[in-house]
Amino acid sequence: MTALLTDEILPANERYATGFDKGALPMPPDRKFAVVTCMDARLDPAKFLGLEEGDAHVIRNAGGIVTDDALRSLVISHNLLGTEEILVIGHTDCGMLTFRDEDVQAQLGTDITLHAFPNVEDRVRDSVRTVRESSLLPDAVSGFVYEVETGRLRPVA
């Protein structure tokens, strides 16, 4: 094990587990919505959306993009666990704005699709459109940009 695990992560988990009382929460989210957002460490969806454990499904990936895997999770969330609404949340100053797939693919010697994008609002619109086009997901989907500078959500039309 690394020092990070033994000195920080595992002790933090032990402190959390000592007072843990949420083991009986039901599997379906209480507030019946799912969120797709970025993995950026500056984003804490529970805090900026006012969530507690058990409230919502939060799906995170680089860029907060509705990729095939995010779509799979949303289909399960909606059809098997009863979510009725989906929020797609991009954010300002996203790392995905800072490169192009082709450049990183050449640098790393891979053809993996990274889904970089030049405009966060357009990317949110694309992901909202992907959700709307799926016959397996609810019509209730909204897009937002989280402003890392202010902590506020801004709707994307």
pLDDT of residue 151: 98
CATH among 3.40.50.10470, 3.60.20.10, 3.30.43.10, 3.40.1050.10 for 31-156 = 3.40.1050.10
Residue type, 87: L
pLDDT of residue 1: 87
pLDDT of residue 74: 98
pTM of the model: 0.95
149 vs 142: CA distance, rounded Å: 21
39 vs 45: CA distance, rounded Å: 10
Backbone angles phi, psi at 64, to 5 degrees: 60, 40
pLDDT of residue 61: 98
- Best CA proximity match to 87, nearest among 59, 55, 122, 115: 59
Residues 97 and 91 sit within 8 Å (Cβ to Cβ): no
Which regions in the chain score pLDDT beneath 50?
Answer: none
- Tell me: the pLDDT tens digits for 90-116? 999 999 999 999 999 999 999 999 999
Going by their DSSP bridges, the two strands 153-156 and 141-146 should be labelled as: antiparallel
